[in-house]
């Protein structure tokens, strides 16, 4: 994995092939939004981790780009995918269309959350919602530009999810069963339209 403290345009394709991006260590180190193409499928270079199996949904609250709060621990009742991504992460950008398509076809039986790890200065009023209007505008513009319609992006400008999951590489995706217990997590880019995906998601429906 290459450090993303500085990214030059010619490195974006290489990062997509490597399957993941190192998480940024601070706001000043965060590069501009990635311009990597999403037309090619995400590379299946991800690593699965079942060492946290059985862990409950954490008490985390995010906001959508309109400011509505979403409490993670309340999202039980059907399996849930929590995807940590960022606009500057080429493998994230590459896999998002397949993740959005998955949400479109499996929406009745599967919840899919895309939690942006783009950093920003929180403008919350002390209630801990972590809202940042600059980050919200940037993420919404990115989402609209990519034409993603089945998932609404959530904001985590303080990186609470990355800290909770100890995620040092993006994308990182965590899968929970309908009771809110972790089944597995995946580190790196993935093709969510693959046969492997259907087999893996079946684990949470048992």
What DSSP string describes 21-66?
Answer: EEPPSSGGG--PPP---SSSPPPS--EEE-TTTTPBPP--EEEETT
Query: Which residue's structure tokens are 């303080």?
Result: 158
Domains and CATH numbers, the chain: 42-205 (3.40.30.10)
DSSP reduced 3-state for 9: helix
3-state helix, strand, coil in the chain (%, to 5): 30, 20, 50
Q: What is the pLDDT, as a whole number, of residue 19?
A: 61
Percentage of residues in the chain having pLDDT higher than 90: 67
Rounded to the nearest integer, the mean pLDDT of the chain is: 80
Is 167 a residue whose pLDDT tops 70? yes
DSSP-derived letter for residue 44 is: S
The token pair that represents 11 in the structure block? 């490195």
Model confidence, pTM: 0.78
């Amino acid at each position: 994995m290459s450090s993303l403290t500085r990214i030059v345009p010619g490195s974006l394709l290489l990062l997509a092939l490597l399957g993941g991006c190192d998480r940024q260590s601070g706001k000043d180190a965060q590069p501009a939004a990635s311009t990597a193409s999403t037309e090619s499928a995400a590379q299946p270079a991800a690593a699965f981790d079942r060492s946290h199996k059985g862990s409950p949904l954490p008490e985390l609250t995010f906001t959508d780009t309109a400011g509505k709060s979403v409490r993670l621990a309340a999202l039980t009742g059907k399996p849930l995918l929590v995807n940590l991504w960022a606009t500057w992460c080429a493998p994230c950008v590459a896999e998002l269309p397949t993740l959005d398509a998955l949400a479109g076809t499996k929406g009745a039986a599967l919840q899919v959350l895309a939690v942006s790890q783009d950093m920003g200065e929180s403008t919350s009023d002390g209630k801990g919602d972590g809202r940042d209007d600059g980050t919200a505008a940037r993420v919404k513009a990115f989402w609209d530009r990519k034409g993603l319609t089945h998932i609404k992006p959530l904001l985590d400008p303080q990186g609470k999810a990355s800290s909770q999951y100890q995620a040092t590489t993006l994308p990182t995706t965590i899968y929970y069963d309908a009771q809110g217990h972790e089944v597995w997590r995946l580190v790196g880019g993935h093709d969510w339209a693959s046969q492997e995906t259907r087999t893996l998601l079946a684990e949470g429906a048992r």
